[in-house]
A and B are shown apart, each in its own frame.
Chain A
Amino acid sequence: MTTQTKNQTRGRTAAQESRLSREDVELRVGRILKWVFIIFFVISTAFPFYWMLNLSIRPIGDVLQNPTRLIPTGQQLANFWESYRAVLVDFHFATYIGNSLVVSLITVSLTLLLAIPGAYAVTRLDFRHKSLMSWGILLVYMFPAIVIGIPLFVIYSQLGIRGSLPGIIIVYMSGTLPVALYMLRSYFQTLPAELEEAALIDGCSRLSTIWRVVLPLSVPAVASVALYTFMIAWNEILFAILFLTETPTSWTLPLGLRQLDTQEVPRTYLMAGSVIITIPVIVLFFFFERFLTRGLTAGAVKG
């Protein structure tokens, strides 16, 4: 009898022990796995960008001889400006940067100009077809760009505005407006309506309420929308390929870089161009990371 109960208790503690040790073992394995994966992810996401920088500095001859040289020599570092100068001056990248800046900044300002009042209307004002409007925004957002690309190509050719920057800005806006509306709407919904009501009672018109009450409260959201819109316009290449390829004076940075990708151009220059186009995005991103990660999930930014 007694031995039996003794055995039972021993059995229970043994089971408890093994359960505890399972917890311990799994935690330990988990910790190792965690660091293995962190290293894997950091290398696979950050290394390609480091390599881009590396290849943009080393002359192609050196790359062919020492493909695995991880750190450029002092002399290569000292001459790093050489490839960038060649890209900016000899390959007209200065022009493309100008075009890209014009296109992106105008797209950002026009998008904000239209999306802020629009998002306010969708959140705060009551009107029929309101939910239809919200669904419409969502739908537009899902729609394949390449499908509207063909008819727009025909219309733009017909109108003779295919190679023009205003033409492409309008197309970009059709892509950025839904994103901006969506992100701003989800932010406006978190603002207390009482403040606006107070302003309205005090005699503000709706528009000046937006200007004086809503906007100052929404600086983070507006900033993240502005940055996203900028990134979308800055990175866009599909419509640039479709519409601008035949008019080199209107090439944006991505298109210019793509046209550079031929057999004759040394890869060093190609990588220098890549660095030039990537740096603004990464710098902006690190400056505003906190806004951006929140905005990204709030608006489900398309990519």
Chain B
Amino acid sequence: MLQQLSIVELAIYALVWALAGGIAGFYLYYSLNRNPRSGARGGVLVGVAIGILGALVGLLDSAESLINAMLILWTAVLVAAIVLPQAKIGVGSHDRTVTMRQRIADLAYGLLLPTFVIVMVIVIFPMLWNVVLAFRPIRLRDLPDLRLFSLEDFTLDNFNRVINSRGFVDTLVRTFVYTISGTVLAILLGLIAALVVKDKFPGRNLVRGFLLFPYIAPIISVVLIWKLLFNAQYGLMNELVDALGGRRIDYLSTPATAFTMVILFQAWRYFPFAFLFILARIQAIPDDLYEAAKVDGAAPSQRLLHITLPQLRAVFGTLFLLRFIWTFNKFDDVFLLTGGAANTQLITIEIYDQLFSARNVGAAAAVALILAAFLFVVVGVYFRWFLVEER
């Protein structure tokens, strides 16, 4: 079938093909001759050839076959790049014109290539392409007959729609509150758990094992049990409250309590992660420090305050950063617990809602881009502050 393609679209097709072919060609030549210069020459040659070919294919065929062809090409190159050098790697068959150092580097590239390709195709490319999607008016119903690389319908509508939608700012603020309080609580619980478990006592290993349960169990099953524990009809929490004369409510769907519950869940599920890190660091603090402090007359609380906690500062920094990033990105927990109802809507759930409730792919991509931008800024600020702190 013949599609009408614009010049821009055609150029992008050609460029993508040339890039894909070029990298592939480079690897092929490189792995055959073990010489970057010959690899580059081969890459350019194959790249140009495949670029022209790709433009022609793009002119004649749909986007689907473009992707298919690219996958086939990459698989072929992957196989070739793994198999071909193997034939030469064995002892005694190496090319005398290349140095040992080069051959080792070749091998390293060869060994990392499959991982590199998967990460490129599944993480880096979608990440970049998400930016393009965010500026295009794409609905769910437009799939699967979509022109993947068109830039003609460039628009800011998605961002307008998203930012002006009701409650978007609230969602942003709530996401930050959720992330920071969840992170701090999880680290605090982890610290207490580590302090409590650090010294030997009967059953210590068992207790340590239990402490990791919330973290290793499948998210869906812990969510389901939380829902039942805090359920209005027969949840144990309500039996307790009832006995004390309180009112029965469903904690996860009442607006007054749901957000607190979601933060508590976050702390409960992820404190084991902080616990393990802090415990490992506490056990590495030299005993001399405590002995010296004891001789100087420092009480246990003073030893905790002036030795243990300062020694843990670096761990707190790392933990806060990691947990902040992961909590900020987290989708499943709150989505499964409340679905974003009862004042618990978060940015990640907004992405899902835009995709499946509003059926608006472009808007979903726009929210995702906003999320990534916020994350980038926050982590950047943190790193800057953190590095200054370290000096």
Give the residue of A30, A37, A120, A144 whose beta carbon is less than 8 angstroms from that of B300. A30
A144 near B89: Cβ-Cβ < 8 Å: no
A203 at the interface (CB under 8 A from B): yes
Interface hub of A55, A136, A152, A303 (most chain B Cβ within 10 A)? A303
B225 near A51: Cβ-Cβ < 8 Å: yes
A126 at the interface (CB under 8 A from B): yes
Q: Please name all residues of chain B whose beta carbon is closer than 8 Å to the beta carbon of A67 when the two chains form the complex.
A: 233-236, 239
Nearest Cβ on chain B to A120's Cβ, whole angstroms: 7
Give the residue of B118, B144, B220, B277 whose beta carbon is less than 8 angstroms from that of A297. B277
Q: How many residues of A contact B (CB 8 A)?
A: 96
A42 at the interface (CB under 8 A from B): yes
Instruction: For the complex, give the distance between the alpha carbons of A109 and B197 in Å.
Output: 35
Of B50-58, B126-134, B250-258, the one with at least 4 CB within 8 A of chain A: B126-134
For A142, give the chain B residue with the smallest CB separation: B325
Interface string of A168-185 (1 = CB under 8 A from B): 001101100110010000
A146 near B225: Cβ-Cβ < 8 Å: no
Of B3-11, B27-35, B367-375, the one with at least 4 CB within 8 A of chain A: B367-375
Nearest Cβ on chain B to A180's Cβ, whole angstroms: 9
Interface string of A146-178 (1 = CB under 8 A from B): 111111111101111000000000110110011
B217 near A282: Cβ-Cβ < 8 Å: yes
- The main secondary structure of chain B at its interface with chain A is helix
B112 near A150: Cβ-Cβ < 8 Å: no
B209 near A289: Cβ-Cβ < 8 Å: yes
Instruction: For the complex, give the distance between the alpha carbons of A254 and B333 in Å.
Output: 13
For B218, give the chain A residue with the smallest CB separation: A235
A99 at the interface (CB under 8 A from B): no
For A160, give the chain B residue with the smallest CB separation: B144
B229 near A151: Cβ-Cβ < 8 Å: no
Interface string of B209-228 (1 = CB under 8 A from A): 11111111111111011101
If A41-B207, A206-B107 touch, whether A302 touches B326 (CB-CB below 8 Å) is yes
Instruction: For the complex, give the distance between the alpha carbons of A281 and B371 in Å.
Output: 32
Taking CB atoms and an 8 Å cut-off, the chain B residues in 142-176 that contact chain A are: 143-144, 146, 148
Give the residue of B123, B226, B328, B332 whose beta carbon is less than 8 angstroms from that of A48. B226
B109 near A127: Cβ-Cβ < 8 Å: yes
For A147, give the chain B residue with the smallest CB separation: B368
Give the residue of A64, A117, A136, A303 whose beta carbon is less than 8 angstroms from that of B111. A117
Give the residue of B126, B219, B352, B355 whose beta carbon is less than 8 angstroms from that of A254. B219
Of B15-23, B39-47, B63-71, B306-314, the one with at least 4 CB within 8 A of chain A: B63-71
The 9 closest A-B pairs by CB, nearest first: A274-B221, A174-B122, A151-B126, A144-B329, A127-B105, A125-B108, A67-B234, A121-B108, A117-B111
